């Protein structure tokens, strides 16, 4: 699963997830979902807004995703909180 959060202080290309999902980049990984969110500022506990955290949990459960790759720098606490919120004990969060 690929996730990108657009915040004003970070200039992003048109499609911030394009490089992550480029075919052939990792032949052993299958992208099961990808989405972006625009935020004025990251949430200090999860980086995402509450609605997107709920959506993340639903998508992880529906797709059985085991890796959630963020195109953002996350703090260790945000990573831990997102892993707990995802509700899948085997899902891990990775940040660029």
**Close Cβ partners of 4 (under 8 Å, ≥ 6 residues apart):** 12, 16, 17, 34, 35, 36, 37, 70, 71, 72
pLDDT at 89: 65
Q: What is the pLDDT along the chain (96 residues), one digit of tens a residue?
A: 888 888 886 655 555 566 655 554 555 678 888 888 888 988 999 999 999 999 989 988 888 888 888 888 899 999 999 988 887 666 788 876
| Nearest Cα residue to 70 out of 95, 89, 37, 88 | 95
Q: What is the pLDDT of residue 77?
A: 94
What CATH number does domain 2-95 carry, 1.10.10, 3.30.70, 1.20.1630, 3.40.50? Answer: 3.40.50
Q: What is the pLDDT of residue 44?
A: 94
Instruction: For the full predicted model, state whether its pTM sits above 0.85.
Output: no
**Domain map (residue ranges) of the chain:** 2-95
């Amino acid at each position: 699963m690929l996730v990108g959060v657009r915040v004003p202080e970070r200039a992003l290309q048109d499609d911030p997830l394009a490089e992550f999902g480029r075919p052939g980049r990792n032949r052993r990984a299958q992208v099961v979902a990808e989405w972006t969110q625009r935020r004025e500022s990251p949430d200090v506990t999860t980086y995402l807004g509450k609605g997107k955290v709920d959506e993340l949990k639903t998508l992880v459960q529906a797709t059985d995703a085991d890796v959630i790759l963020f195109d953002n720098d996350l703090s260790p606490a945000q990573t831990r909180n997102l892993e707990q919120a995802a509700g899948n004990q085997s899902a891990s969060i990775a940040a660029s």
